[in-house]
């Protein structure tokens, strides 16, 4: 069975955050939810300044601290390497969130309809979209996925549950790449079977220097970074924050 992973080429990333937007539109995530985030960093002092960028999806760890602590097994590891969240089982305790060292979990603090970019419950909008509300909603997100047939795709489902990057499980099961990977204008994101030595991701890992984030924690992420870059250290300052607070 394929065991998927992502390889991110930092030498190619321009920090444009098109992946972030692709993720948001594909997965219908609410405001303030960044399943994919792109860090923009600054290091050093003028004129010895370095600016660089680092996309941060969920790491889909092989030793996932979030799945370990989930009290009800809503967060779990799939056989194909994806770390999934069953939004029909999650009780909303947010233990996965505090256990995750990567900050990738996004809780539905309020009803997603009310926290969407277009207020789906706005009567004006309702009238104008002929009742087809929201105006765009990915119909693939409600279904069941995997041999275990659980509800693990997409976001914005209901208030009080945890959501996060799914590696676009609904696309992957169709044979497509995750939305961020498919859309990266610089082809900096790669997705494939890390167990297959001939896959594009395995090849990249052989050809280029690579690292994983917070490797010392032994979370064994399935997201690898390649290129001349390095993991962000103490000197990396994030610039140009996204508006996270809702």
Residues 59-98 that bind another protein (CB under 8 A): 62-65, 67-79, 86, 89-95, 97-98
Overall residue count recorded for the chain in this entry: 246
- Near another protein in 186-205, by CB under 8 A: 186-187
Q: Would you count residue 4 as binding another protein (CB under 8 A)?
A: no
d(CA 140, CA 143): 6
Q: Would you count residue 107 as binding another protein (CB under 8 A)?
A: yes
Q: CA quadruple 28, 181, 61, 172: dihedral positive or negative?
A: positive
Q: Would you count residue 208 as binding another protein (CB under 8 A)?
A: no
Instruction: Give the one residue of 142, 209, 214, 230 binding another protein; rule: CB under 8 A.
Output: 214
Minimal distance, residue 64 CB to another protein, in Å: 6
Q: How many CB atoms lie within 10 A of CB 212?
A: 17
Q: Would you count residue 1 as binding another protein (CB under 8 A)?
A: no
Query: Which of 20, 22, 35, 29 minimizes the C-alpha distance to 134?
Result: 29
Q: CA quadruple 112, 58, 168, 77: dihedral positive or negative?
A: negative
Q: Would you count residue 244 as binding another protein (CB under 8 A)?
A: yes
Minimal distance, residue 89 CB to another protein, in Å: 6
Contact 12, 122 (CB under 8 A): no
In DSSP notation, 72-134 reads SS-EEE-TTS-EEE-TTT-----HHHHH-TT---EE--S-TTTTSSS-TT-HHHHHHTTT--S
- Near another protein in 119-138, by CB under 8 A: 119, 122-125, 127-130, 132, 135-138
Structure tokens of 23? 């993720």
Minimal distance, residue 236 CB to another protein, in Å: 5
Contacts of 180 (CB under 8 A, 6+ apart): 19, 20, 22, 23, 36, 55, 57, 168, 189
Q: Would you count residue 223 as binding another protein (CB under 8 A)?
A: no
Instruction: Give the one residue of 6, 8, 153, 161 binding another protein; rule: CB under 8 A.
Output: 161
Instruction: Give the one residue of 2, 12, 202, 203 binding another protein; rule: CB under 8 A.
Output: 12
Longest Cα–Cα distance of the chain, Å, equals: 56
Q: Would you count residue 113 as binding another protein (CB under 8 A)?
A: no
Q: Would you count residue 103 as binding another protein (CB under 8 A)?
A: yes
- Cβ closest to another protein, residue 202 vs residue 217: 217
- Near another protein in 36-55, by CB under 8 A: 37, 39, 41-42, 44-47, 49-53
């Amino acid at each position: 069975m394929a065991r998927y992973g992502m390889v991110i080429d930092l030498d190619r990333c321009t920090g444009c955050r098109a992946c972030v937007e692709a993720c948001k539109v594909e997965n219908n995530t609410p405001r303030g939810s960044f399943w994919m985030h792109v860090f923009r960093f600054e290091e050093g002092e003028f004129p010895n300044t370095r600016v660089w960028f680092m996309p941060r999806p969920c790491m889909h760890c092989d030793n996932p601290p979030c799945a370990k602590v989930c009290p009800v097994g809503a967060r779990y590891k799939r056989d194909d390497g994806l770390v999934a969240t069953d939004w029909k089982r999650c009780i909303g305790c947010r233990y996965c969130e505090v256990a995750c060292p990567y900050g990738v979990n996004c809780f539905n603090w309020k009803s997603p309809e009310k926290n969407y970019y277009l207020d789906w419950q706005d009567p004006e909008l309702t009238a104008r979209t002929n009742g087809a509300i929201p105006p765009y909603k990915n119909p693939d997100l409600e279904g069941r996925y995997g041999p275990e047939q659980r509800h693990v795709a997409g976001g914005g489902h209901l208030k009080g549950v945890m959501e996060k990057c799914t590696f676009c499980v609904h696309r992957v099961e169709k044979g497509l790449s995750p939305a961020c990977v498919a859309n990266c204008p610089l082809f900096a994101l790669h997705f494939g079977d890390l167990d297959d030595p001939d896959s594009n991701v395995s090849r990249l890992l052989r050809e280029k220097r690579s690292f994983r984030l917070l490797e010392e924690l032994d979370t064994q992420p399935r997201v690898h970074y390649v290129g001349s870059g390095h993991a962000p250290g103490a000197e990396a300052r994030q610039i140009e924050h996204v508006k996270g607070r809702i």
